[in-house]
Chain A
Amino acid sequence: MSEKNSLFVKDDEDDDVDMISNANDSTTKEGTSSVAVESMDIDIDNDSLDSNSDEANFDIDEEDPIIEEIPLNIGGKDEHLHILQYIGKNKRLGKKPANHPFVSDIRYKAKSSVWELEIPLDESSFFNKNKDNEINGGDDWEDANIQYLKGVSVKNNGQYVAFSSNKQVYLLPVEKIAQVKPYFKHIDDLTKKRKQIESKNNATPASQKAQVVTMSVKSVSDQAANKLAGSLRAHKIEAEEDPLKLSWVENTFNSFRDSVKQEVSEHQLKCISERDVYLSKLFH
């Protein structure tokens, strides 16, 4: 591993943040975009714990002189920022967009918040075409020329994406973070196929027998008992959910930045609590 390791993926991947403008998803977030909040960094979300740390920092940083004041802007009314982390991606690819894998297809399951990415593999180097088609110890991977990435996104609270422009910092709340990992769909497909063949070949009399379906009042109550719970249910919902097909757009950062600036300038950030209330909160 390289010495750059101490950097976190998130920092690495900030450039990969892409907005997925989702027209259907009308915002319910309070998201008031902002004008600068000066000197005291009171957050708009009146999280008492948050403020605690501020107070603690005051004590420590007493002798720290103020060098420069940078206005902060909070946006995030219209944007839905999802961060995709490429776990296991080669570090050396880094930020170079040229080396960045091209995403050919992207799907999102909104209900279970699952991302699926398709990346075509570079068949020109390090790609064993023979492995692709030949029967290799029974493993026939059909057309394994696409890398599938999949990840569940997790709600995020308290992290922001920032960029600076004209000596102003713009903060945008991150909605969800997903770690996308490769998964070998071709192997699973193969197993599935083999199983189907197997069950067809070894059809046992039990499975062949027609089942008598009885309908009675009692069976209604059975349904309640058969409900899946917890993770199983989540998996079932995920399996049954139709993914939303999205398109992968790159090089939109400039327009994104402009739109954020635009949005921020339109809204005035208002403080909903008063100074005294806030201070008294700190002490109790």
Chain B
Amino acid sequence: MTAHLEIRGLRISGPAGEVVRPLDLELRPAETVALIGESGSGKTLTAKSLIGLLPAGFRAEGTFRSGDQVVALDQPDAAWRPLRGRRVSLLLQDPFTSLSPVHRCGEQIGWTIDAIQGRLPRRERSRRIAERLDEVRLPARAAHAYPHELSGGMRQRVAIAAALASDPSLLIADEPTTALDASNQAEILDLLRALQDARAMSLLLISHDLGLVRGRSERVLVMCRGEVVERGTTAEVLSDPQHPYTRALIAADPALGAPGPARPVAAGGDREPLLAAEGIAKRFGDRPVLDDVSVQVTAGAVLGIVGESGSGKSTLARCIAGLEREDAGVVRFAGDVLSPGRRSRTPDQMQIVFQDPYSSLNPMMTIGAILREALATVGRPASEVGAILGQVGLPAEFASKRPAELSGGQRQRVAIARALAPRPRLLICDESVSALDVSVQAQVLDLLGRLRDELGLAILFISHDLAVVRRIADTVTVLWDGRVVEQGTCEQVLEAPEHEYTRLLVAAAARENTGAATRVATKGTP
């Protein structure tokens, strides 16, 4: 079969020089090619260059052939219009921001239909919108909903419907599921696959996650610092990686790599718990978010709290930390009852490391100022800034930098350093590694494990990602709809889940790594 989309000599240069080195790529109809790389590897710029949406200051070279049409990638914006959104569509990572918040979903799908068909009669137009929604398995009434009224998974479906309204021959999906929960991720990827088969559309799937791509793409390109370092069929690359970078990626992936080493630490059990939250309940207005939740952690142990977004896991953490006031229940810390709110708590009891390292550091302060302030809360001198940066594996010179100069992983290390500065006995990690690339994720997890052992920290580790939790936690609590549905040691819960929801989560995580391998086998030879 001949390639129907060909990219030749794609090269992107930015203000600081070359960011993507010359790259060739062809896609056959209905084929999925995955482009893997960490943030900063140039994968998103590659995607944007194929649709003429490079940010100002960046220039692409090379050609792009679609069917019998050849376009130069550096053509002016106007020349892109007949192609963009018609032959090629782009699906973005974040369904929370890629849809307009003030327009109904149906309207947004309608725009792409208008762009292709011209203005259709009203009834015909709504019929087509309903058709598109049906295609992504959404009910027709979703057309009348505003984006904020839909869940993340539903929003991404709307975005897919809008992207596909023009029947493109190539869909570029840039991290289409990174912002979604595990079970939603699998559904969206399966949906994309089905739509792709039905339309013989090519898919360029961009992701940082090798595990996600396994079984869902025929071929893989691995990108590192703007260069394709490895390419081949997905099975080959995953089973026999040639380039050291690919090997590092596979080893760092919590789902693909080995589970964390067994530790001799007695989890829970005989020792007095450092933190015990008993019967915590919380409502937001009429909506109960936590209902009789009890958890406990001992010093030197890690409790994983697993659940999807909306399950109440962050609210639980915030009640424990005093950032939210529980309606009922008791939080005990080292035997003392802490009343609701921050007033009863001191910085040296517990600290939180938040999810998003981009917004958890004050952008106007230097790293040094941020850490000095945290040290001062317990009377530690400013001279310890260097030492505390060293503790999280950063050089002392970082003190004079501002957050904007740091990568995501470095920022998260600074956030951990700030959390450790008051010498807390309990560290709450609220999705602390979810926003990080896999290899950085592995480093941060290792760091947390080391700190737990060296400082005897108790860690409350909150995540939606079972694979990550398995790597660090001793005991696991599964939250579902504000209630504890399963509790036990990590092995118990993951090897023999008792509750139906836990089984679903475990299965979703497992499908991610081994999953649709069978389909690759059947589709592999066109």
Q: Do A and B come from one complex?
A: no
Seen from chain A, the residues whose Cβ lies within 8 Å of a Cβ on chain B are none
